[in-house]
Amino acid sequence: MTEEASCRGPVDLVVRGGTVVNAGWRGPSDVFVSDGKVIALAAPGTPVPKGSSPDEVDANGMLVMPGGVDPHCHVGFTSGEYTSLDDQLQCTTAAVFGGTTTIVDFAIPRPGQSPLGEVERRQAAAGEGLCDSALHGCVVEWDDSTADQLREMAARGVNTIKMFTTYRGESMADEYTILRTMQAMRETGGMVVIHCEADHIIGEAQRRCAVEGGVEASRMAATRPEIAETASVAEILAIAESVGAPVYFVHQSTAEAVELVAAARRRGMRAYSETVAHHLVLDEGVYAGTHPERFVCCPPLRSRQTVRALGRHLFTGEVSTVGSDHCCYDTGQKLENRHDVRDMPNGLPGVETRLATVFSTYVAGMDLPVTRFVELVSADPARTNGLYPRKGALLPGSDADIVVWDPSARWTMRSRDLHMATDYTPYEGMEVTGRPRTVVVGGRVVVHDGELVDPRPQGRALAAGPVVAF
């Protein structure tokens, strides 16, 4: 804490009276902001320098946290015949309402399109957002141009490359392509981020379901068994280890998968586990309900026992980050092919609900330390995306992206009160504790008491630095 630093003017915003929470540290502090940056954490009540007349945000009784960094967020994502329904403005609007002030989107090329072309298209849209965004590139097939494209992406600040071991014919990459891409990323200081489900095991499970029991949405969990994830994670770890490359596993849905990654870390690999809010909060019981199609995502929701075991790894430290895997389809799209999950759009809306569902379930409900919460939803997503400490921290020099969080607000999630470009939430009717009261983006108060008070787009395409090892 630096009392005297408050005298370095000019101050244009002060967040007063709250408890600042960074990863690993919390304490009463006022946050001084100038020109979009945090300039000081000061003792409560520290006066502003003469000549400054900053706006003040009252944070008494509140937690003051770095805005959420969502490491896994699909904006207007096309897969097969379906495109999710939001654009940059809609997605980032929902994000800031939920306390997330940085999203990391995916530039996934359509068949025949170049990976770099999709990066350029999405970076050009960043300015339409209410908050900043970064990108994961994507490689589906290695060819003569891939190495140059990866170098050009790195030059444009895209240092993480998404790959898939499933979705055959769409975005699945073969092992040779994965190995080559990992080698190339090792050279640029970047990292492959990978969706692991063994496609052959899933194909066989789907074929078996089709002949006995069915492949409608209510059968989602049976069509993509846990073993498909375990098998694929083990193989990808072996490839990464063989070439000495770091690797980040997206949306891990089982403790077994997380534990494979943790064991790799213990033998010296740089390997990271991401899990996502819906795998931590919901279970496969919803597939037996009246709207199973609303919960169709890959990997699918798992048994209650698996969810409990996965959630335990928020406490053990084995999970590195918590994302949303936001994918904004509506019920019309979800219903169309509900009789066959192989033809359905996969994915759940969640960029706005990530912080509240995880805070409520694990911090309010199970005493997860709030410093660990910040680490999971903000600091470590910033680290794994080469954005820390500009993002994911409230430190002098960090961007002034701040969420003033009411830890005891109780509310009911209703899709009509949310801002995502869809007509449902997987959490309809869920009673939760904790919500953002004020959200500051780049030093400007953007959301206050559930109202958008500054709708001016100010998003920037963030250039990722090298991934910070931890």
Q: Which residues bind ligand URP (CB under 6 A)?
A: 74, 195, 297-298, 325, 327, 346-347
Find which of ligand URP, Zn ion, none residue 419 binds, CB within 5 to 8 Å per kind. none
Farthest CA pair distance, the chain: 77
Contact in structure between 230 and 257 (CB atoms under 8 Å) = yes
How far, CA to CA in Å, does 11 sit from each of 31, 63, 152, 319, 448?
10, 21, 38, 38, 20
- Encoded amino acid at 377, one letter: V
Q: From ligand URP, Zn ion, none, which one binds at residue 354 (CB under 5 to 8 Å depending on kind)?
A: none
Q: Examine residue 278 and tell whether it contacts Zn ion (CB under 5 A).
A: no
- The one-letter amino acid code at 225 reads P
Cα 269 to Cα 105, 184, 244, 246, 252: the distances in Å are 26, 17, 8, 7, 18
Task: Please tell me whether residue 325 binds Zn ion under the rule CB under 5 A.
Answer: yes
Is the CB of 181 or the CB of 252 nearer to ligand URP? 252
Tokens found for residue 285: 């019981």
* Residue 136 engages Zn ion in binding (rule: CB under 5 A): no
Least distance (Å) from Zn ion to the CB of residue 277?
A: 12
CA distances from 25 to 1, 178, 370, 439 (A): 11, 38, 9, 21
- Do residues 99 and 352 lie in contact, with contact meaning Cβ atoms separated by under 8 Å? no
Residue type, 85: L
297 binds, among Zn ion, ligand URP, none (CB under 5 to 8 A by kind): ligand URP
Tokens describing residue 454: 């500054």
Q: Which of Zn ion, ligand URP, none does residue 294 bind to, with CB < 5 to 8 Å depending on kind? A: none
Phi, psi of 340 (to 5 degrees): -150, 105
Nearest partner of 79 among 15, 154, 140, judged by Cα: 140
Nearer to Zn ion, 109 or 443 (CB): 109
Q: Is 399 in the site for Zn ion (CB under 5 A)?
A: no
By a kind-dependent CB cut-off of 5 to 8 A, residue 398 interacts, out of Zn ion, ligand URP, none, with: none
Q: What are phi and psi of 49, to 5 degrees?
A: -60, 150
Rank residues 22 and 275 by Cβ distance to ligand URP and give the closer one: 275
Can you tell me the distance from the alpha carbon of 184 to that of 153, in angstroms, rounded to the nearest whole number? 12
Contact window for Zn ion (CB under 5 A) among 123-131, 179-187, 195-203, 225-233: 195-203
Please, what is the end-to-end C-alpha distance for the chain in angstroms?
A: 24
Nearer to ligand URP, 297 or 374 (CB): 297
Residues 6 or more apart whose Cβ sits within 8 Å of residue 282: 295, 301, 307, 426, 427
Query: Residue 88 CB, nearest distance to ligand URP (Å)?
Result: 18
Instruction: Tell whether residue 195 is a contact of Zn ion (CB under 5 A).
Output: yes
Residue 346 interacts with, from ligand URP, Zn ion, none (CB under 5-8 Å by kind):
ligand URP
> Which C-beta is closer to Zn ion: that of 326 or that of 391?
326
Measured from the CB atom, the residue of 202 and 327 that comes closer to ligand URP is: 327
- DSSP string across 339-352: T-GGGSPP-B--TT
Task: Choose between 132 and 325: whose C-beta lies nearer to ligand URP.
Answer: 325
Q: Which stretch binds Zn ion (CB under 5 A): 57-65, 194-202, 393-401, 413-421?
A: 194-202
Closest distance to ligand URP from the beta carbon of 347 (Å): 3
By beta-carbon proximity to Zn ion, the closer residue of 162 and 435 is: 162
Contact between 85 and 421 under an 8 Å Cβ cutoff? The reply is yes
CB of 66 to ligand URP, least distance (A): 25
Cβ-based nearer residue to ligand URP, 336 or 454: 336
- Rounded least distance, CB 72 to Zn ion, Å: 5
Q: What is the DSSP letter of 141?
A: S
**CB under 5 A: which stretch of 129-137, 314-322, 325-333, 432-440 binds Zn ion?**
325-333
Chain residues that interact with Zn ion, rule: CB under 5 A: 195, 325
